[in-house]
Amino acid sequence: MRRIGVGLLGLGTVGTGVCQALKNNRDVIVKRTETLLEIESILVRNPEKKRLVEEVQDRITTDFEQVLRADIQVVVEAIGGLDPARTYVEKALEAGCHVVTANKELIAKHGAELEWLARRRGVRLLFEASVGGGIPVLGTVQHLLKSNRIHRITGILNGTTNYILTRMEEEEAPFERVLADAQEKGYAEADPAADVEGFDVAYKLAILGRLVFEAEVPVSRIPRRGIREITPEQLRLCRRLGYTIKLLAQGEQYREEGPVSLQVGPALLPLSHPLAPVKGVYNAVHLEADVVQDVTLIGQGAGEQPTASAVVEDLCNLFRMPAAPGLSPSRDSFLLPSDDDGGPRFVYLEAGEPLQISSPAELCRRLQKIGLAVDGAVIHPEDGCRGLGLIFRRWDPSYPPILLAELGLEGVRLSTLPVQDLPFTRELSAAQAGIPG
Amino acid sequence: MRRIGVGLLGLGTVGTGVCQALKNNRDVIVKRTETLLEIESILVRNPEKKRLVEEVQDRITTDFEQVLRADIQVVVEAIGGLDPARTYVEKALEAGCHVVTANKELIAKHGAELEWLARRRGVRLLFEASVGGGIPVLGTVQHLLKSNRIHRITGILNGTTNYILTRMEEEEAPFERVLADAQEKGYAEADPAADVEGFDVAYKLAILGRLVFEAEVPVSRIPRRGIREITPEQLRLCRRLGYTIKLLAQGEQYREEGPVSLQVGPALLPLSHPLAPVKGVYNAVHLEADVVQDVTLIGQGAGEQPTASAVVEDLCNLFRMPAAPGLSPSRDSFLLPSDDDGGPRFVYLEAGEPLQISSPAELCRRLQKIGLAVDGAVIHPEDGCRGLGLIFRRWDPSYPPILLAELGLEGVRLSTLPVQDLPFTRELSAAQAGIPG
Ligand SMILES: NC(=O)c1ccc[n+]([C@@H]2O[C@H](COP(=O)([O-])OP(=O)(O)OC[C@H]3O[C@@H](n4cnc5c(N)ncnc54)[C@H](OP(=O)(O)O)[C@@H]3O)[C@@H](O)[C@H]2O)c1
Ligand SMILES: NC(=O)c1ccc[n+]([C@@H]2O[C@H](COP(=O)([O-])OP(=O)(O)OC[C@H]3O[C@@H](n4cnc5c(N)ncnc54)[C@H](OP(=O)(O)O)[C@@H]3O)[C@@H](O)[C@H]2O)c1
């Protein structure tokens, strides 16, 4: 049996979960991996704070160098943020320690350099917990689908925003009210920007893009929209059209080593899409690949225990699983612009006065007549026909003035959201199974 | 780079898919695993048959010994059935070849002995394709959740029956008609027993039981019910009560190395259960574990390409991933009886004449009064109240006569189906997210 010393940086949500899992599941880990993982030293900021796991109290320090001097082969970074996490991870790698981290921001922004450094030092850098919490997304891609060319990846990667959208849809409640309640309950941070503006998802998508498409794309170049502008009316109209709205991470690659498109933002999903039923704080990833067709993974994307699971699995895998082949750090990725990509689009209009429309079907016919291909229309029922939702089969930035002129509207707020197609294989099997739409 | 010679047994659906994937994705496999997988010899029954993959024509033989004499390190078994597949696999292992197989019946019935043989010969036996087709279920359990204690596993593991149930529910069509149509379309075999009677699922559950719970349970001891008796009326009543019916593989273990319960049969799933939206030919597995909480995997459980993906991934993993620790073959598993387990249960009654019930709520009250805890009741609407569905919170085999007496019914067909609880963590997050029941 191998004995591995672990230095833990941070004893917050994730760090505490890791201590607990290593303690409670020591027997399983030993039996299945023949490895004894022992925490030798723990770095915190405030040495006075009362800790939940009492038996590690004697190993707590505020001096990073003391962690490195302990008898360790691995450093687990669970501090978060760029500074000082980055410096500590670099120093650990330089010192010849493997590193396991849950830090999406660090890996999204500096993952390539850090991996390079790890490679030079002959150690490993693993970060399963950084994407999708407990869901073993990165492991699945790297170890269980490696003979597949994955060409599309769609994810619900932020539990806070999925929780908010779920409640907005089910309670028909406005964003601000649900957010405030989520903050009160501890599901959203006091400063919710990282979640609701999509930064957190963009970090995760950057990591997935590197791993799945071998595309090194700076986070700042990933088009990103948040969910602040989504209204319960939009959610209701979408549902009547057969869709739901989710904050999605979307990545696509056009042939191997070809250009990629990455984007983060709210989008419509057909209700028969495998990600549509993913509710509340759950996360999920949908992968489309050439041999396996499509695979969906669903689970808890955050929280003490699920996140700890991912960290501890990484700890076990460090000494068992083969390293993924490295990316050449000089690789240039061609990022396609993602807006107005000519795909299907949901258009939402809110008129100041009742619209002169007798029925959605009539409206579709009228628009079709002037050359706008509309797949569905729905009118806000309780509103004297002031709200209007339309699904365009193909969208073009030149459409809004045509559309507004045809409807005889001026100065009306028109907002659009992309619509995610049903995966090809789903369309087939939905048709085969007689499942409508 | 390593070069690995592969001997392929069978060139039907799976064999053809494997040939094609190895050809089309050779570049990806070489790049990611530094292994060149080359098919050296292919065993078939009928040498005259025209084959879809032309370039392998010259390697086709009808003589198994010739396959073993080729320059191979691995045998892929894609013949199916017990005989001669079992003999061939044994001979291949004896000859020091690794074996990859898609054969659930073989692994369910003789997996333990074959693994033992492989171990003695210092080779590996992998069978990812045998459970869930393309979904990497076994890999996830063995390599990505190994620090977790999995205590419950629920699966939709047969595409044919899920397709039939989906269509029965969506078209309100009877079993026999949908089956006939599925047979015509090639989704169901001419002899559908293996699928609709649940044998196929029982094989897969036996394999999962061994892997997940280390429980060696003979297939014949797994309680098994098929879907022949499910009616569109039952499906409709269930949906109105907030449930769907799926053919489920259910496995549970009561503490580590503790007794297990395994069973196959139709069961009710709450509509908010992660497996409820899995439709058509899709398969899925839901795992509940102590650290990660719950993970759901969804994908295509059969078909040339998805199944080939699993076989080829196994081929890549043979030389990369660590072997799972072996089960002691003498291990005795304590299988709990699964019927009448006191859990929640759906009861369906079809009376010959209209029932004297004014409303479901009144009925619930009446039954509660005589000590039967009923969670929900629904009455068949278009039938002068002849069909009746009830959800009992706890079921007891002594209930039927009490129930029938209370309703003033005699000689009425009463059928019951178990109800799968919502996973605990789901219940929590559903409540948190304001998702009803
Ligand atoms: N929470 C989740 O569910 C989750 C899920 C996936 C990924 N992650 C990622 O995991 C990481 C940690 O998150 P968390 O939620 O565990 O954070 P947290 O609860 O805020 O804990 C942070 C810990 O780091 C310590 N720390 C902070 N600054 C430090 C410094 N300068 N020097 C030494 N120690 C310092 C804190 O010490 P004190 O205790 O003394 O204050 C605390 O123990 C982040 O990268 C996060 O994105 C979290
Ligand atoms: N089909 C799926 O989607 C799927 C999914 C998961 C697992 N599986 C499993 O994969 C295995 C193969 O299934 P399949 O659908 O590919 O079967 P299949 O299409 O019927 O093909 C069977 C192949 O084996 C050959 N064969 C049969 N008996 C033989 C014998 N005695 N000696 C030599 N060759 C023999 C046949 O030869 P000829 O071509 O000359 O007739 C044929 O090429 C089964 O265990 C099945 O349960 C299948």
Residue B167's CATH number = 3.30.360.10
- Residue A285 in 3-state DSSP? strand
Q: Are A90 and A117 a contacting pair, CB within 8 Å?
A: yes
Sign of the Cα pseudo-torsion (A352, A357, A363, A365, in order)? negative
CB distance B194 to ligand 2 below 6 Å: no
A contacts of B430 (beta carbons < 8 Å): 279-280
- Whose CA is closest to B212, among B150, B167, B265, B157? B150
**Is the CB of A291 less than 8 angstroms away from the CB of B21?**
yes
| Residue that the structure tokens 């045809």 belong to | A406
- CATH number for the domain that contains residue A36: 3.40.50.720
Residues in A touching B29 (Cβ below 8 Å): 146-147
3-state secondary structure of A378: strand
Same domain membership, residue B150 and residue B108: no
Residues B289 and B417 in one domain: no
Q: Which of A324-328, B322-326, B356-360 has the lowest mean pLDDT?
A: A324-328
From ligand 2's centre to the CA of B100, what distance in Å? 14
Residue A159 lies in a domain: yes
Amino acid occupying residue B89: V
Q: Which of B31, B143, B148 sits opposite A309 (nearest CB)?
A: B148
Residue listed under structure tokens 């069509």 = B173
Would the CB of A132 count as within 6 Å of ligand 1?
no
A317 contacts A139 by C-beta, under 8 angstroms = yes
Partners of B316 on chain A (C-beta within 8 Å) are: 146-147
Decide if A190 is inside a domain. yes
CB B263 within 8 A of CB B222: yes
Mean pLDDT value across residues B20-40: 96
Domain boundary among B126, B157, B179: B126
In whole angstroms, give the CA distance from residue B35 to residue B1: 6
Tell whether B215 and B265 lie within a shared domain: yes
Q: How confident is the model at residue B433 (pLDDT cuts 50, 70, 90)?
A: very low
Domain assignment present for A319: no
H or E element that contains A193: helix A193-196
Residues A119 and A147 both lie in one domain: no
Would the pLDDT of A326 be above 80?
no
Lowest mean pLDDT among A88-97, B202-211, B330-339: B330-339
Q: Point out the ligand 2 atom lying closest to the alpha carbon of residue B133.
A: 6
CA distances from A334 to A69, A111, A211, A213, A259 (A): 43, 19, 15, 11, 5
Stretch B251-269: mean pLDDT:
91
Q: Would the CB atoms of B432 and A187 count as touching at under 8 Å?
A: yes
The reply to whether B243 falls in a domain is yes
- Has residue B324 been placed in a domain? no
**Angstrom distance (rounded) from CA B164 to CA B280:** 7
CA distance A216 to B228: 53
User: CA distances (Å), B12 to each of A347, B42, B103, B180, in order?
Assistant: 48, 11, 13, 24
A134 lines ligand 1 (CB under 6 A): no
- The residue segments making up the domain with residue A374 are 345-433
B315 — pLDDT class (breaks 50, 70, 90): very high
For residue B174 the two structure tokens come to 């009877």
pLDDT band of residue B435 (cuts 50, 70, 90) is very low
Note whether B207 and B250 are same-domain residues. Answer: yes
B250, B160: one domain: yes
* Most informative mutation of B44, B53, B62, B126 for ligand 2 (most atoms within 8 A of CB): B44
> Is it the case that residue A373 has pLDDT exceeding 80?
yes
What DSSP character marks residue A46?
-
Catalytic residue positions of A, numbered: 204
> What is the C-alpha R_g of chain A?
24
Q: Which residue has the tokens 């929780």?
A: A163
Q: Which residues of A touch B149 (CB under 8 A)?
A: 25, 28
C-alpha span between B340 and B344 (Å, rounded): 9
Domain boundary among B107, B126, B145: B126
Q: Which helix (H) or strand (E) segment is A329 a member of?
A: none
Please indicate, yes or no, whether residues A164 and A250 belong to a single structural domain of this protein. Answer: yes
Per the structure, how many domains does chain B have?
A: 3
Name the residue with higher pLDDT: A343 or A181.
A181
Instruction: Determine the length of chain A.
Output: 437
pLDDT of residue B266: 98
The stretch B382-406 carries a mean pLDDT of: 82
Is residue B143 located within the same domain as residue B245? yes
**Token digits of residue A26:** 């020591």
Q: Does A68 share its domain with A168?
A: no
Given this model, what pLDDT does residue A254 score?
87
Among A26-30, A287-291, A354-358, B418-422, which stretch is predicted with the lowest mean pLDDT? A354-358
What proportion of chain B, given as a percentage, has pLDDT over 90?
72
- Rounded Cα distance between B47 and A142, Å, is 39
pLDDT number for residue B434: 40
Whether residue B381 is found in the same domain as residue B263: no
In A112-163 the beta strands, taken as DSSP E runs, fall at: 125-126, 150-156
Residue nearest to atom 44 of ligand 1 (CA): A80
Residue A437: pLDDT above 50?
no
CA-nearest of B123, B134, B263, B112 to B202 is B263
| b/e burial code for range A172-203 (CB count within 10 A of at least 16 → b) | ebebeebbebbeeeebbeeebebbbbbbbbbb
Mutate to test the interface with A, among B292, B307, B427 (most CBs of A within 10 A): B292
Q: What radius of gyration, in Å, describes the C-alpha atoms of chain B?
A: 24
Smallest Cβ distance to B435: which of A166, A290, A320?
A166
3-state secondary structure labels for all residues of chain B: CEEEEEEEECCCHHHHHHHHHHHHCHHHHHHHHCEEEEEEEEECCCCCCCCCCHHHHHHEECCHHHHHHCCCCEEEECCCCCCCHHHHHHHHHHCCCEEEECCHHHHHHHHHHHHHHHHHHCCCEECHHHCCCCCCHHHHHHHHCCCCCEEEEEEECCHHHHHHHHHHHHHCCCHHHHHHHHHHHCCCCCCCHHHHCCHHHHHHHHHHHHHHHCCCCCHHHCCECCCCCCCHHHHHHHHHCCEEEEEEEEEEECCCCCCEEEEEEEEEEECCCCCCCCCCCEEEEEEEECCCEEEEEEEECCCHHHHHHHHHHHHHHHCCCCCCCCCCCCCCCCECCCCCCCCCEEEEEECCCCCCCCCHHHHHHHHHHCCCCEEEEEECHHHCCCEEEEEECCCCCCHHHHHHHHCCCCCCEEEEEEECCCCHHHHHHHHHCCCCC
Measured distance CA(B299)–CA(B158) in Å, rounded: 11
CB A294 within 8 A of CB A288: yes
d(CA B270, CA B194): 27
Note whether B177 and B90 are same-domain residues: no
What distance lies between CA B65 and its chain's CA centroid? 34
pTM reported for the whole predicted model: 0.95
Establish if A340 belongs to a structural domain. no
pLDDT value at A431 more than 90: no
Q: Ligand 2, atom 14: nearest CA belongs to which residue?
A: B13
Confidence of residue A153 (pLDDT cuts 50, 70, 90): very high
Centre of ligand 2 to C-alpha B81, Å, is 8
H/E segment holding residue A169:
helix A159-171
Within a domain: A326? no
pLDDT at residue A251, as a whole number: 95
CA B349 – CA B387 distance, rounded (Å):
6
The predicted pLDDT at position B298 comes to: 98
Higher pLDDT, B354 or B394: B394
Residue pLDDT, tens place only, B155-210: 999 999 999 999 999 999 999 999 999 999 989 999 999 999 999 999 999 999 99
The answer on B291 and B161 residing in a single domain is yes
Helix H or strand E segment including A274: none
Ligand 2 pocket mutation pick from B8, B9, B11, B13 by most atoms within 8 angstroms of CB: B13
What the block records as the tokens of A171 is 């309670």
Residue B436 pLDDT > 50: no
Could you report the predicted ipTM of this complex, rounded to two decimals?
0.94
Round to whole Å and give the CA distance between B6 and A252: 33
Cα–Cα distance for residue pair A222/B43, rounded to 1 Å: 51
Question: Does residue A312 fall inside a structural domain?
Answer: no
Report residue A55's pLDDT band, with 50, 70 and 90 as the boundaries.
Answer: confident
Residue of B nearest to A303 (CA): B292
Helix (H, G, I), strand (E, B) or coil at A422: coil
Which whole number is the average pLDDT over A268-274? 95
Whether residue A276 contacts residue A269, with contact meaning beta carbons closer than 8 Å, is answered with yes
